[in-house]
Chains A and B, each alone.
Chain A
Amino acid sequence: MIGALGGINLDFVGGIVGVVLTLMVFSYLLGDNPAYRLALHLFVGAVSGYAFGVVSWEILIMRVGVPLLLGQQYALLIPLLLGVLLLIKVVPKHAFAGNVSVAFLVGTGTAVAISGAVLGTIVPQVSATARAAAPASGANTPVGWLDGLLVVAGTVCTLLAFGYIGRRRRERPVGCAWPAAVVTHVGRWFLVVAFGVAFGGAVSAALSVFVGRVQYLIDFVTGLA
């Protein structure tokens, strides 16, 4: 229970607001209407306001302001200065002052992302694919070799499906040799299956959220009785 304020049950008020907003969002099923748009704007506004509050409190005040006031970490003046320079970019005349902050952000972010992608995705995935092709990988299960073969074939074919390299042939359209064409075709079928799985998962997730909302409405109504 959140509590009561002046005899008003805040849980009940919150439930009412939630039910009304849920119904307003569901009204989009009947077409675009002002109620849906109002709920949408409320959601966006609430999320933006909450984000501003979180960032202001947890970052600007608790992580920067308080340590500086207590004289503990003067090094925090550097990110604070970079942040101020970034804000100056809103003034076109002095926008160049924020280039240092942007350069720092882009450089740091790129370095972290690249190192993470190489060490965290490419190398482990290539290694795992190579291990899947090894005969020893399917020793534990009867069709383990088929699993490894599918993994390797799917990876190779899917990567080759994005190769748009052809050869100009006399009096024939540009194309590639038939083995490459077969591999590309197989790769596209792997892509179709992957997209189908992803779409099925998205539908399942959306349906789960929908069921959750309906459950919320039913619980609220039954709670009133």
Chain B
Amino acid sequence: MVECLVCGTPNAQADTVCANCGAQLAGGSLAAAPALTTESPVLDQVSNPDVGHPDPRGGPSTEGAAQGDWLAQLLAASGDDTEVTGPAASPGEGFQQPELPIWLRDLSPEEVGPAADVEMPVPGDEGGPAGEPGEVGLLAPDVGPDDLNELAALSGASAAMLSWGGYSNQAERDAAVDAGLALLADELAAGDLEDDLLAGAIPVSAQEGLVGPAPQWGSAMAASELEVGGTGLDGLWDGPEANLAGQPIADWLSVESSRGASLVRGSPSAAAAVALPGLGEARADVTGETLLARAHLIEELASRPSTPRRVMSRRSLIGRSDRLMRLLVPAVLVAVVVLALVAPLGAWGKLVAVRLPAGYPAGPARMYDVVRHVGRGDKVLVAFEYGQAEADELDLVAAPVVRQLLVQEADISVVSTRTDGLVAARGLLRETLGGMVASGAIRDSDPGERYAVAGYRPGDAVGVAQMLHADDPPDLVVVFAARAGPLRWWVEQSRAMVDPPVIVAGTSAALEAVTSPYFGVDAGQLAGAVSGVSGAAYYERIAKLEMDQPAARRLEVLAAGNLAIVALVIVGAAASGLGGARDSRGGRM
């Protein structure tokens, strides 16, 4: 009796067509397959073990003589020593009819149709009766990582290969097999596929997206690989290797090859690769081309030296001295700053107490002079070009200027080219107004009467130009900037006007080098400038504001911090010098 590979119906030995589904009974595939002769370069390895098999990458291999007993088993499985026939050929005496997989049974009546009409897809051909790759049991192109998609595309070649009907000649089929194996071997060597499979990056649903289930031998092999030393080969093969079921995996692997055993035992990638959909789903052809391909793959993998990954932990890259310094520097800084803020400095305070020079630097003095001449109702555009992250420094710079403008009852419009600039502006104005009411400088703190928030203006330099070219141009522009870009926009766009307004700037200490050219050398682009906490302290002293002088107090803490930094630099340099001298002595010894 010959069992139909499509529907499983037993037929008479003499029948060539299944009585149930009409499929040809010549082989286990969907279409009649040509006889596979030893002209195939792959099968040349089987029939002539002494000849090195061609490397999938194109280079000849010299490993043919070391293939061992597994080749003999393969030849035995093929049933003929001189002419190996594929699954579509008539089975010989030793040919054991494979069990038809469930997915193939499910496909056969509805989607496959009569065997004679079926054209299996070839690589790169998305058309054909099989339709989309997903319909033939492949991963859909949009699921899973790219490497699996590539393999899925190649598994189309595998499916076509198994059918024996998708290629016009033997060489084309062999080339597709070799290309698929080479790509798979590359993926395994790179370890990406291994990581994806083991880390669960490939969702189970994607693996279950196959029309048919994953082959049993693959699952068993993967499970046994994870439990090295155990037995996991029950029901692994239905072919000649079935007698090895229940044996330790090492014994089975010795059948394949000794190097393959070591490879699979040492690396989970081999098991994962063999369990790949597409390459392993054709359980029915396990005694044919699939078995040869699998053996070819293992041989190819075994011929490659394994290169262990060099994984260096981050901790090992950081030396002990680096870790110590990373903890010591902030600890010292925190201690010094906290002490300077909360503890009475006493005699030590005299060391860090800042004595501002008697004279006034030009920047704060000119800025105060400009702001002092702002009269009641003069239109002043105040640009807050800093956010909350820089507010701890820039608030000290902006507070005395804003306070002076509020006292002089200028018509203040608050703008910003940063979305978070208005947050900083509202916070500063609220605190300043509250402080002025508390000190009696003003009677009420209604923000609506004191200033107007003109809002956020996008467009960077274009937005700045729009604000400056408004119908009612400002008499004075005050820019508080933490970055160089916004300061440059304001300066440049104001100078590009026919009648430029007066501009003064309060910037971060980091921008002092940027601000100086605009203010110094009589460029005249900035009428006044205050940079950093020191500039703010000068401005407070010049303005003689009836308020606390937070910038002056901050300056003392900054001086203490700077002193600590200098001490740390000296200690670090000394330690480095001593360490270097010791290392050099050790090197000479």
Contact = CB atoms under 8 A, between A and B. Distances in A.
Nearest to B491: A120
B510 A211 contact: no
A213 B396 CA distance: 13
B419 A51 contact: yes
Interface centre among A55, A58, A197 (most CB of B within 10 A): A58
A137 B522 CA distance: 9
A77 B456 CA distance: 21
Contacts of B461: 109, 112-113, 116
A58 to B, nearest CB: 5
B420 A51 contact: yes
Interface stretch (B186-194, B212-220, B299-307, B511-519): B511-519
B491 A109 contact: no
Nearest to A122: B492
A207 B562 contact: yes
Contacts of A203: 565
Interface string A179-203: 0000000000000001001100111
Q: Specify the main secondary structure of chain B where it touches its partner.
A: helix
B142 to A, nearest CB: 16
A41 interface: no
A194 B496 contact: no
B513 A197 contact: yes
A128 interface: yes
Contact of A202 (B392, B510, B524, B558): B510
Contacts of A54: 419, 422, 456
Interface residues of B, number: 57
Interface stretch (B62-70, B122-130, B227-235, B336-344): B336-344
Contacts of B513: 194, 197-198, 201
A97 interface: no
B334 A207 contact: no
The 7 closest A-B pairs by CB, nearest first: A212-B392, A120-B492, A116-B492, A120-B495, A128-B523, A51-B419, A205-B510
30 contacts: A30-B327, A47-B387, A50-B420, A50-B423, A51-B419, A54-B422, A62-B455, A113-B461, A116-B461, A116-B493, A120-B492, A120-B496, A121-B488, A121-B492, A124-B525, A128-B521, A128-B522, A128-B523, A129-B521, A194-B513, A197-B513, A198-B513, A202-B510, A205-B509, A205-B532, A208-B509, A208-B533, A209-B392, A212-B392, A218-B338
Interface of B: 326-327, 330, 333-334, 337-338, 341-342, 387, 389-393, 396, 419-420, 422-423, 455-456, 458-462, 465, 488-489, 491-496, 508-513, 517, 521-525, 531-533, 554, 557-558, 561-562, 565
